[in-house]
Amino acid sequence: MTRPVVTAPGRLIAGRYRLESQIGGGGMGAVWLARDELLGRHVAVKQVLSPLGADERQVDEQRQRALREGRIAARLSHPHAISVYDVAQEGTTPWLVMEYLPSRSLAEVVTTEGVLRVDQVAQIGAQVADALAATHAAGIVHRDVKPANILIGQGGRVAGLVKITDFGISHAQGDVTLTQTGQITGTPAYLAPEVAQGQEMTEASDVFSLG
């Protein structure tokens, strides 16, 4: 069980980001649509939540994970990857400030529409593959490529635009991992066989997950 979302629309984060509505969430946090009042643009902000009853060490580890996600994502600039703009600190809670893409996740699209046409799959796959090539060239392994982390743009100029997101468990070369030795990270249904057997994730593991 996680700590409930103790926030609401209208709240100003770090004196700059005005929350408008919650647009997503998961076990480790909630994602909000917000307005950057300094630059006058919409952004997505991810509130990183600690588990209920977490001790000081666990809270600090969660904060370090958020900072690490921000650092890793900031190393990558690609038209098919969600950009991270800032890590805002509000009290003891870190907020990741990211590019906002009006979209549905690929998981939502498949649930709603069923099996996609071959040409749609090819178009989505090509854009994600392009982003992963740049990710790997930057020395980053995503480690959690799955439909829920692939966003499909909706409306206007972004219709059909595909971007990969959520670098929360990614690993960058030269970065210290926060994963305990022997612990398998990622989503079981999309893990490469060697990863399921306890081996280290590599660029090839990402490619398997994409497939």
pTM of the model: 0.84
Give the pLDDT score at 181: 47
- 113 to each of 65, 106, 116, 210, how far by Cα in Å? 35, 10, 7, 20
Give the pLDDT score at 28: 64
Q: How confident is the model at residue 178 (pLDDT cuts 50, 70, 90)?
A: very low
Give the pLDDT score at 197: 86
Cite the active site residues: 144
Looking at the DSSP bridge assignments, the partners of residue 81 are: 164
Residue 142 and residue 78: Cα distance in Å, rounded?
Answer: 14
Greater pLDDT, 98 or 27: 98
Does position 97 have pLDDT exceeding 90, yes or no? Answer: yes
Does position 2 have pLDDT exceeding 70, yes or no? Answer: no
